[in-house]
Structure 1
Amino acid sequence: MNPLTVTSARRPVAVVVVTWNSAAVLPGFLDALPAAMAGLDWRLVVADNDSADGSVAVVREHAPDATIVETGRNGGYAFGVNAALRAAGAFDGDCVAALVCNPDIRMAEGCAATLVAGLGDVLPDGTRAGIAVPLLYEADGALVHSLRRESTLTRALGEAVLGNRRAGRFPRWSELVTAPDAYAARTSPDWATGALMALSAECLADCGEWDESFFLYSEETEYCLRARDLGHRVRLEPEARAVHLGGESRVSPRLWSLLVVNRVRLYRRRHGLTATTVFRGAVLLRELSRAALGRPPARAAVRALLGRPRRDTGGRPAGAA
């Protein structure tokens, strides 16, 4: 029996993957799936955003029973996620949960079952766990600080003055969560990086589709905050673990500038013009300080914040989160 075939009549877990020139990382992802999904009924749905490197052929070779949606264009990450979720019937209640994955994720054995088991739990504030995330590690075993707080003016200023790593120890002063105890137990951040997320059927029904106006970056932030607004919280499941091979945003000027601009765009959606002007200024201060150190990504971000950047037309790198 092919391990990628769902055999149960019960509602499966939809494993949703978006690919764009991901052929190099797909085999490792697909090979790890059977052990990662142990104990669950599941189906794999891959949305390919017009890859030119044979990504679709790789999926057909390694996962012949997968559902493949060839979108025909590179409409962005949220565009691909929505296409795959629709094909899986996730918005119609055909799945008990959906696992949204980057193709450069390598889930550990039993990771998915641990994530799915925590969905729906009632949290101390009366909300429910609608999104579950694992501990993420770099390829060298280093823990990824994947948990985040919602953007505020003081957090943007704290990161500009102290740097996000140093400021991350103080909830008031940084969006990044770096405190070790936050990763040692079940905790509920405002949002988490979207390399691997389990979404409950209830969360999917209430929140609907991902926001496709964010071509790349901030789409998972927007979704998590929208879910929280509707009573579905993000929860870290520290017993679930995965390796994330990493993206290009920290080294690519184009991608980093897009990440920074979209962070300001999302803040504007949730706050007034005056607050956004101050927030943008704090973000600009942070990038200017790094540009002064000769960092090309920061220089690109400064140009984007000062100008009117066009909508990005490049693709999501295989390992971007």
Structure 2
Amino acid sequence: MPEGLSGTDWQLVVADNASTDDTVAITRELVPAARLVEMGHNTGWSAALNAGISAADEFDAVMVLNPDIRLVPGSGLAMYDVFGREGDIERVGIVAPRMYDGGGNLSPSLRREPTVTRALGEAVFGTCAGQYHRVLGETVYDETAYAQNTTADWATGACLLISAECLAATGPWDESFFLYSEETEYALRARDRGFRTMLAPDAQVIHLGGGSCGDIGNSETSPRLWSILTLSKVRMYRKRHSLLAYAVYWSVVFLGQSVAAAIGRPWGRRAVAVLLRPSKVELG
């Protein structure tokens, strides 16, 4: 991490959601100066992030990091340099790096705003639908988008740099999301307040847990995590749309998961169950 943040003045804050491994002990041993926030139980991503930000010293930007992110040297400064572009009507408030998986392959991390059409495209063609046309899927696959300062509706939350100005204007992350879609909601809420999400092509990170769209729907897909993701998506959509629009969106998502369930996908069956009875989703 020090090489990844070279050229910046940084502080490490670790929010631990009652981990069952050696995270706390390793943090204290390897980075004794780190500020450790022990949540006491698994509060979810947004709550832990809010607690970590609240525990930090004064800052002008916050980098949100998954524990499986590895920063390429100089990536932090490259992300920070995207802020403060003169003449922008909408300020850059959130910066995403160019992300690669553990095998060195580009991991598409830019996203488009969820719509009924995109939900339908992904129900028919799967999570790779965005490869066929931008209106069919949320994920941006065009490689040229990752070679320049591209503005996106949102970006995956495994690694993001958020300006203090954006944080102050947008407010805390929505803790009603336990996992997934919290970064979608936050980036769209920031956009409502005049802040853009932008890619920093010169900033590169390795996401060890990242994968391709083809990884979704195979035998390794976790039914539990997929059900949380699916429920979070429809809940996020409801927060920004009318009840009628939400009903249409929910129906399209339900249709896609029902087809998956019908052809024997365990994750599809689990998603159908939680869409019908949200209380059945297993958190923690």
Whether the aligned pair in 2 keeps the contact of 1:122 and 1:128 (CA below 8 Å) is no
- Corresponding residue of 2:103: 140
TM-score (norm 2): 0.92
Structure 1 segment 51-70 matched on structure 2, within 5 A: 51-70=19-38
Runs of 4 or more consecutive aligned structure 1 residues displaced over 6 Å after TM superposition? none
Deviations 1:238-294 (A, max 9, x none): 111111111699521011011001100010110011111110111112222223332
Gaps of at least 5 residues in structure 2 are none
Question: 2: distance between equivalents of 1:261 and 1:111?
Answer: 33
Q: Which of 50, 53, 65 is residue 85 of structure 1 equivalent to? A: 53
Question: 2: distance between equivalents of 1:186 and 1:237?
Answer: 6
Structure 1 segment 139-218 matched on structure 2, within 5 A: 139-218=102-181
Sort the Cα spacing of 1:296 and 1:63 in 2 relative to 1 into closer, same or farther, 3 A: same
Deviations 1:69-88 (A, max 9, x none): 11212111111101110001
1:253 aligns with 2:223: yes
Please report how far the alpha carbon of residue 45 of structure 1 lies from its aligned counterpart in structure 2 after TM superposition: 0.6
1:309 aligns with 2:279: yes
Sort the Cα spacing of 1:123 and 1:277 in 2 relative to 1 into closer, same or farther, 3 A: farther
1:292 aligns with 2:256: no
The SS at the match of 1:47 is strand
Whether the aligned pair in 1 keeps the contact of 2:227 and 2:281 (CA below 8 Å) is no
Aligned partner of 1:271: which letter? H
- Corresponding residue of 1:73: 41
Please report how far the alpha carbon of residue 164 of structure 1 lies from its aligned counterpart in structure 2 after TM superposition: 3.1
Structure 1 segment 211-290 matched on structure 2, within 5 A: 211-246=174-209, 250=216, 251-290=221-260
Aligned partner of 2:32: which letter? P
Percent sequence identity is 48
Please report how far the alpha carbon of residue 208 of structure 1 lies from its aligned counterpart in structure 2 after TM superposition: 1.7
1:97 aligns with 2:61: yes
Question: 2: distance between equivalents of 1:129 and 1:194?
Answer: 16
Question: 1: distance between equivalents of 2:130 and 2:99?
Answer: 21
Question: 2: distance between equivalents of 1:158 and 1:53?
Answer: 39
Please report how far the alpha carbon of residue 47 of structure 1 lies from its aligned counterpart in structure 2 after TM superposition: 0.9
Whether the aligned pair in 1 keeps the contact of 2:18 and 2:38 (CA below 8 Å) is yes
TM-score (norm 1): 0.82
Question: 2: distance between equivalents of 1:247 and 1:307?
Answer: 29
- Corresponding residue of 2:84: 120
Structure 1 segment 14-53 matched on structure 2, within 5 A: 33-53=1-21
Please report how far the alpha carbon of residue 122 of structure 1 lies from its aligned counterpart in structure 2 after TM superposition: 5.1
RMSD (Å), alpha carbons: 1.8
